[in-house]
Amino acid sequence: MDFTLSAEQTQIRDTVAEFVDEEVVPRAAEIDETDEFPADLIDEMAELGLMGMPFPMEYGGAGLDYHSYAIGLSEIARGSGGLGTVVAAHTSLAGNMVYAFGDETQKERFLTPLNTGEDIGAFALSEAEAGSDVPAMSTTAEPDGDGFVINGGKLWISNGSVADTVTVFAKTDPDAGRKGISSFVVRPEADDGFIVEGTEEKLGDKGCPTAELRFDDMWVPEGRLIGEPGEGFVQALKTLNGGRITIAARSVGIARAALDAAAEYATEREQFGGPIADFQAIQHKLADMDTKVRAAELLMHEAADLKERDEEFIKEAAQAKLYASEISREVANEGIQIHGGYGYTKDFPAERFYRDAKLSEIYEGTSEVLRNTIAQQLLDE
């Protein structure tokens, strides 16, 4: 098994890392403080081809393999966890819904501007009473002439208040359970009845607006239906499965940032006549942190490899996301500990890494749900 990055993958890593170090890291604290959507950074990333990394060039994408996409997203998240979520929700969720399940017209009309960064995407699945329990959703889409009328609401929608294209899930047959869920492309600016109720004030993940949406008699044409009626539940599961690889990547990026900051601080901070990096207790913490990050990276790439080869990767994606998200929090926590009192202040980024890391254990499959998934896959083998 070859773990060496290809020349293209190395170039992607170095290009994104340079951009992050020069443009994102200097802005990260400001983004965290203001919680404003960094539209200018999105434009710069679009120019670098980072808003459509895994999609074919014929649709305006960069045509990269999933390893390169995960590497690129990890670097972005190393600079800003919120920016990592912006790209992940835009690409892995909204973009992939159109690419994997949309028809040719939908790909040309909606996927291309997403890939070029002209549009921002969002994925509207969760509801107040339907988070992990997707079939419990109450949003409906009723046939109306040559289209559908959508009524209901969605919660926790990343990019929801700034998106130009939103993939929305609704029940077209409320009595059919999971087989009665369908998905649609919604255009907030054009579709009357699309309402942003507000955005959440969150612990971390700043710069990525998390919105509550409402749909009041919102009519969409039949051509916006993605796939066939009743296919939405399966589409959502498949999309989230691939998205878990990129949440693992986000987690790895944040953990790497926390580790780097802790190692740098340990070599500079002096106590008892020398740098604290000389203390075995600190060395052991750093050793454990680095080992966990490396293990998470390997799980991430294993899942990406299976996806690239078009093989089943449900368990592997769940394991990658579960482990990477949990060690990201653990590594960030140890980073605070190494910083001591300074780690608990905003004078250093250690506390931001912790706040950003925590989210990965919750969205796109909580740790508890992922353990259920892994166990079910294991027992079915």
Neighbours of 284 (CB within 10 A): 10
Residues facing 215 on adjacent strands = 152, 194
- Which class for 131: exposed (0-12), middle (13-18), buried (19 or more C-beta within 10 A)? middle
**Domain limits, the chain:** 7-120, 122-230, 233-380
Could you give the residue numbers annotated as active site? 364
CA dihedral 109, 111, 114, 118 (to 10 degrees): -20
**Is residue 312 classed as helix, strand or coil in its secondary structure?**
coil
Q: What is the rounded distance in angstroms from the CA atom of residue 25 to the CA atom of residue 20?
A: 6
Confidence at residue 11, expressed as pLDDT on a 0 to 100 scale: 97
Confidence at residue 381, expressed as pLDDT on a 0 to 100 scale: 83
pTM of the model: 0.97
Measure the N-to-C terminal CA separation of the chain; round to a whole number of Å: 23
Most distant CA atoms of the chain, gap in Å? 79
For residue 279, the 8-state DSSP code is: S
Nearest to 181 by CA among 136, 134, 230: 230
Angle 162-163-164 (CA atoms, 0-180°, nearest 5)? 125
Residue numbers of the chain with a pLDDT score lower than 70: 1
- For 233-380, give the CATH class: mainly alpha
Q: What are the backbone angles phi and psi of residue 334, rounded to the nearest 5°? A: -65, -30
The DSSP-derived string for 75-104 is HHHHH-HHHHHHHHIIIIIIIHHHHHH--H
The token pair at 205 is: 């993940």
Beta strands 165-171 and 121-124 are parallel
Confidence at residue 2, expressed as pLDDT on a 0 to 100 scale: 80
Instruction: Name the architecture of domain 7-120.
Output: Orthogonal Bundle (1.10)
Q: What is the CATH code of the structural domain delimited by 122-230? A: 2.40.110.10
